[in-house]
């Protein structure tokens, strides 16, 4: 079988679904009115933003007035954390997060710690990629104002015990924010049932375009603004709305909501098939993160004795797009903070591969990967001095 290209990097970004693209095109043509305007051009556009807000809210079991549109997931994370922190500047207050957050959360916390006198606890994870609830409880102090723990990890797909964390935060009067950028549209989320106070999501991880996202802020949570200016988003987030993007995000949430059970069962089956077949045919493979408490969309591995970058390049040559956990974007050779937090050695973490699935992923594509990947790993291993040493040691 020959496939031209197999895209398995959906955790980096998803393709835009055709019906979502269609929903936005009108707003680049006729629907150009400014939603803040009094006239009919503006009012019509505004009504579509209202519909989008309803659709986002419905997916989370929130109410529409608790949804605020942003310029993406990173802005939502920054706003949630800084918006609370700004209320407590220089008061020695304490924030709890984890070692495996996305950099939008991690670097925001580090910034507040370094520049504004906050204390931050970075919770470790167990070897399955999940935090220890007891450790979380004992990290809480009388000064803890905020907990920010991701719903699901973008590299290894592990899902945190969000409902439990939420209940503990509620009991202790701590605001609970979760970065759910990877989780939204891939798992069932109910902000009320899960005691979530703030939740970040992003368009381009759920088949809408890049540059649009949202922050859910529970009614009653008081948050400073991050962006000041006009009175958009009920005076909470200034700037003329990215109308087409917002409409697309609303459509994406509507579609996700309708097909969620089907999406979950389809992707879970494909993911498990991929993981078990790869594990069966490639020796010295570690599946990173818990096998059960993981997103249906993410399969993640470390292959001992190889370099993730070389693996990605070889996969790319046969048309397969995956990703490594390493921080290759920063030009650094350090393996990712997530894989390090799992307790893997540098050598093992270097051989990481994340394959992330979407609604468009097919059984044929999984078969193709299972056919192409093993000989590539084998070839790279045969070039590896580490592997040679290992084989000598075995004799």
Q: Is 279 annotated as a binding residue?
A: no
Measuring CA to CA, which residue among 346, 343, 290 is closest to residue 124? Answer: 343
154 binds ligand PLP (CB under 6 A): yes
Scanning 93-146, the segments in alpha helix (DSSP H) are 103-116, 133-139
Cβ nearer to ligand PLP, comparing 84 with 377: 84
Residue 181 sits at the vertex; the CA angle it makes with 319 and 115, to the nearest 5 degrees, is 115
Residue 372 backbone dihedrals phi, psi, to 5 degrees: -85, -35
Considering only the stretches 27-35, 44-52, 158-166, 198-206, report the one whose residues sit in contact with ligand PLP under the rule CB under 6 A: 198-206
CB closer to ligand PLP, 140 vs 340: 340
DSSP assignment, residue 346?
Answer: H
| Of 204 and 218, CB closest to ligand PLP | 204
Interface residue with ligand PLP among 213, 289, 322, 351 (CB under 6 A) is: 213
Tokens 């970075």 map to which residue?
122
Residues 6+ apart with CB under 8 A from 86: 224
Cβ 84 vs Cβ 145: under 8 Å: yes
Q: Is position 154 annotated in a ligand binding site?
A: yes
Query: DSSP per residue over 145-172, as a string?
Result: EEEE--SB-TTT-BBP-HHHHHHHHHHT
116 is in an annotated binding site: no
Is 10 annotated in a binding site? The answer is: no
**Six token digits for residue 130:** 């999940």
Query: Minimum distance between the CB of residue 224 and ligand PLP, rounded to whole angstroms?
Result: 20
- 265 labelled ligand-binding: no
Q: Select from 202-210, 247-255, 343-351, 362-370 the region that touches ligand PLP (CB under 6 A).
A: 202-210
What's the rounded Cα separation, in Å, for the pair 216 and 68?
Answer: 6
57 interacts with ligand PLP by CB under 6 A: no
Q: Which of positions 349-378 make contact with ligand PLP (CB under 6 A)?
A: none
Segment lying near ligand PLP (by CB under 6 A), choices 161-169, 179-187, 217-225, 370-378 = 179-187
- Cα 23 vs. chain centroid, distance in angstroms? 24
Among 182, 232, 242, 352, contact with ligand PLP (rule: CB under 6 A): 182
Binding region for ligand PLP (CB under 6 A) out of 69-77, 156-164, 185-193, 306-314: 69-77
Return the number of other C-beta atoms located less than 10 Å from residue 283's C-beta.
12
Cβ-closest position to ligand PLP:
73
Q: How far is the CB of 150 from ligand PLP (least distance, A)?
A: 6
Residue 197 near residue 305, CB atoms below 8 Å:
no
17 sits near ligand PLP (criterion: CB under 6 A)? no
Residue 72 binding ligand PLP, by CB under 6 A:
yes
179 binds ligand PLP (CB under 6 A): yes
Question: Contact, 17 vs 252, CB < 8 A?
Answer: yes
Interaction of residue 73 with ligand PLP, rule CB under 6 A? yes
> Which of 70/361 has CB closer to ligand PLP?
70
Looking only at Cα atoms, what is the longest distance across the chain? 82
- Is there binding between residue 297 and ligand PLP (CB under 6 A)? no
302 is catalytic: no
Among the listed residues 205, 236, 237, 350, the single contact to ligand PLP using CB under 6 A:
205
* Contact present, 45 and 243 (Cβ < 8 Å): yes
Looking at the Cβ atoms of 112 and 156, the one nearer to ligand PLP is 156
Question: From the CB of 232, what's the least distance to ligand PLP, in Å?
Answer: 19
Q: Is the dihedral of CA 112, 118, 124, 130 positive or negative?
A: negative
Positions 86 through 125 that interact with ligand PLP (CB under 6 A):
102, 104
List of E strands, the chain = 6-7, 67-70, 94-98, 119-123, 144-148, 175-179, 198-202, 213-217, 285-287, 298-303, 320-321, 352-356
Question: Which span sits near ligand PLP by CB under 6 A: 68-76, 236-244, 247-255, 307-315?
Answer: 68-76
| 304 token code pair | 């001992």
Burial degree of 139 (CB within 10 A; 0-12, 13-18, 19+) = middle
Check whether 319 is labelled as a binding-site residue: no
Show binding-site residues: 73-74, 154, 182, 202-204, 240, 328
| Catalytic residue list | 328
Show binding-site residues for [2Fe-2S] cluster: 328
Q: Where along the sequence are the contacts to ligand PLP (CB under 6 A)?
A: 72-74, 77, 102, 104, 150, 154, 179, 181-182, 202, 204-205, 213
């Amino acid at each position: 079988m020959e496939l031209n290209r197999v895209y398995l990097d959906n955790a980096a970004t998803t393709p835009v679904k055709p019906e979502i693209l269609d929903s936005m095109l009108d707003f680049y043509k006729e629907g150009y009115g400014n939603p803040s305007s009094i006239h009919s051009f503006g009012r019509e556009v505004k009504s579509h933003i209202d519909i989008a807000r309803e659709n986002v809210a419905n997916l989370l079991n929130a109410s529409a007035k608790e949804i605020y549109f942003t310029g993406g997931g990173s802005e939502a994370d920054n706003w949630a954390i800084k918006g609370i922190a700004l209320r407590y500047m220089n008061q020695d207050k304490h924030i709890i997060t984890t070692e495996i957050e996305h950099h939008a959360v991690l670097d925001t916390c580090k910034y507040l710690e370094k520049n504004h006198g906050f204390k931050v606890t970075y919770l470790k994870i167990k070897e399955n990629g999940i935090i220890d609830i007891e450790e979380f409880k004992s990290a809480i102090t009388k000064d803890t104002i905020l907990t920010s723990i991701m719903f699901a990890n973008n590299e290894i797909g592990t899902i945190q015990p969000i409902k439990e964390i939420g209940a503990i935060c509620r009991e202790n009067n701590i605001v609970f924010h979760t970065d759910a950028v990877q989780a939204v549209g891939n798992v069932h989320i109910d902000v009320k049932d899960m005691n979530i106070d703030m939740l970040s999501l992003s368009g381009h991880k759920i088949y809408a375009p890049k540059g649009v996202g949202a922050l859910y802020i529970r009614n009653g949570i008081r948050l400073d603004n991050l962006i000041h200016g006009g009175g958009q988003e009920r005076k909470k987030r200034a700037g003329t709305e990215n109308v087409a993007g917002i409409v697309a995000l609303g459509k994406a949430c509507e579609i996700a909501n309708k097909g969620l059970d089907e999406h979950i069962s389809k992707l879970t089956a494909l993911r498990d098939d991929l993981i078990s077949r790869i594990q069966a045919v490639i020796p010295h493979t570690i599946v990173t993160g818990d096998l059960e408490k993981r997103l249906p969309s993410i399969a993640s591995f470390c292959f001992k004795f190889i370099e993730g970058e070389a693996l990605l390049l070889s996969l790319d040559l046969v048309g397969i797009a995956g990703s490594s956990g390493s921080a290759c974007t920063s030009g650094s050779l350090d393996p990712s903070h997530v894989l390090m937090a799992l307790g893997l050695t540098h050598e093992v973490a270097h051989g990481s591969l994340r394959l992330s699935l979407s609604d468009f992923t097919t059984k044929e594509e999984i078969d193709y990967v299972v056919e192409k990947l093993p000989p590539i790993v084998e070839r790279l291993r045969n070039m590896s001095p580490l592997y040679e040493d290992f084989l000598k040691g075995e004799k």
